Chains A and B, each alone.
Chain A
Amino acid sequence: MPHTADVVIIGGGVIGSSIAYALAVRRIPVLLLEKRGICSATSCSCEGFVFLQSKKPGVHLRMALESARRFKSLEDELETGIEYVNCGGMVAIESREEFEAMSVFAEQQLNIGLDVRLLDGQSARTIEPELSERIAGATYSPQDSQVNPMLLTYAFIDKARKLGAQVCTETAVTAIGVQNGAVESVITSRGVIQTRVVINAAGPFAPEIGRMAGLAIPITPRRGQLIVTEAAPPLLKSVILSAAYIAAKFNPDCARWAGEGISVEQTASGNLVIGSTREFVGYDTAVTAQGIKAVSRRIVSLIPRLAGLNIIRTFAGLRPYTPDGLPILGAVEGVEGFIMAAGHEGDGIALSPVTGDLIAQLVDKGRTDISLDDFGLERFNA
Chain B
Amino acid sequence: MNDRNHRDLYICRCEEVTLGEIDDAIAAGASTVQEVRRRTRAGMGLCQGRTCGRIVAQIISRRTGRPMEEITPAACRPPVRTVTLGEMGGDEP
Contact = CB atoms under 8 A, between A and B. Distances in A.
A313 interface: yes
A298 B34 CA distance: 29
B77 interface: yes
Nearest to A230: B46
B86 A150 contact: no
Nearest to B79: A311
A72 interface: no
B78 A229 contact: no
B61 interface: no
Contacts of B30: 37
B89 A296 contact: yes
B85 A296 contact: yes
Interface string B80-91: 001111101110
Contacts of B45: 231, 312
B39 interface: yes
Interface majority SS on A: helix, strand, loop or mixed?
A: mixed
Given A37-B35, A307-B84, A312 B78 contact: no
B82 A230 contact: yes
Given A154-B38, A269-B41, A312 B85 contact: no
A309 B85 contact: yes
A287 B77 contact: yes
A293 B78 contact: no
Interface in B56-93: 75, 77-79, 82-86, 88-90
Given A37-B35, A40-B34, A292 B88 contact: yes
B82 to A, nearest CB: 4
28 contacts: A37-B31, A37-B32, A37-B34, A39-B38, A40-B34, A44-B38, A150-B38, A167-B29, A169-B29, A169-B31, A227-B85, A231-B45, A271-B44, A292-B88, A293-B88, A296-B85, A300-B85, A300-B86, A300-B89, A308-B85, A310-B82, A311-B82, A312-B45, A312-B48, A313-B44, A313-B77, A313-B79, A315-B77
Interface of A: 37-40, 44, 150-151, 154, 158, 167, 169, 227, 229-231, 269, 271, 274, 287, 292-293, 295-301, 306-315
Nearest first, the 9 closest Cβ-Cβ pairs linking A and B are A307-B86, A296-B89, A297-B89, A310-B82, A296-B88, A150-B38, A300-B89, A296-B85, A37-B35
